[in-house]
Homo-oligomer: A and B are copies of this chain.
Amino acid sequence: MTPSGDTATNPPGTDGELSQRRRTKAPETRAAALMEAAQRLFIDKGIAATSIDDIAAGAQVAKGTFYLYFPSKEALLGALQQRFVDIFCERLQEAMDRQRPGNYHARLKAWVETGLEIYLDNVALHDVVFHEYRPEDRRMRNDNAVIAQLAGLLKQGDGAGFWDVEDATLTAVILFNALHGVADDAVATGQTGASERKRRARALTRFFEQALHPAEDEDDSAD
């Protein structure tokens, strides 16, 4: 998650020793270090309680340097959001692609399981990045990529006659929020163990499948 590689900028070997104090580094390195430090601190202490000072110190740069890479605390939070969503999408896509293209059942199951997994593995990060501080963005603006991705799957399944989906986007919204809510509930009730995750994933998948192809028989054997 952390890009490194200021190797191109400085002669190899030099950096490790000399760059400690006042040395130009590759912009990506700095920005990434700042983001890492911020993310860690945000999770640990909360956004409001984390000062720019803290972040700069965490990334071992001067305070002013922060503003060389991010115009504001809010902007950095935005970058963190973007990164979260990107990774979320990526991993969902990978999980789905591990299944046969035509196997919509398996793909949806993979989506549910992986989504739940990632979410529960990163609740702290997710909460920090999405629910604190910027209520306006809450309306899924940044989750659109995930919605769009899921809508794509639903459309394909509908086109293939596997599901009966009238409004793919609206259905994706429903599925996404259901998943989100079930995960939240797991966290709220403390039921985040492996077996509980499985139970919730199964319940979601079953619920979705039934809603999506009422005419067909559904079976959930052979996990």
Contacts and interface: CB of A to CB of B under 8 A. Distances in A.
Contacts of A178: 174, 177-178, 181
Contact of A174 (B166, B171, B204, B218): B204
Contacts of A135: 127, 131-132
A203 B131 contact: no
A181 B184 contact: no
Contacts of A214: 210, 214, 218
Name the interface size band of chain A. 20 to 34
Interface stretch (A15-23, A55-63, A94-102, A136-144): A136-144
A176 interface: yes
Given A127-B135, A211-B210, A182 B177 contact: yes
A141 B181 CA distance: 12
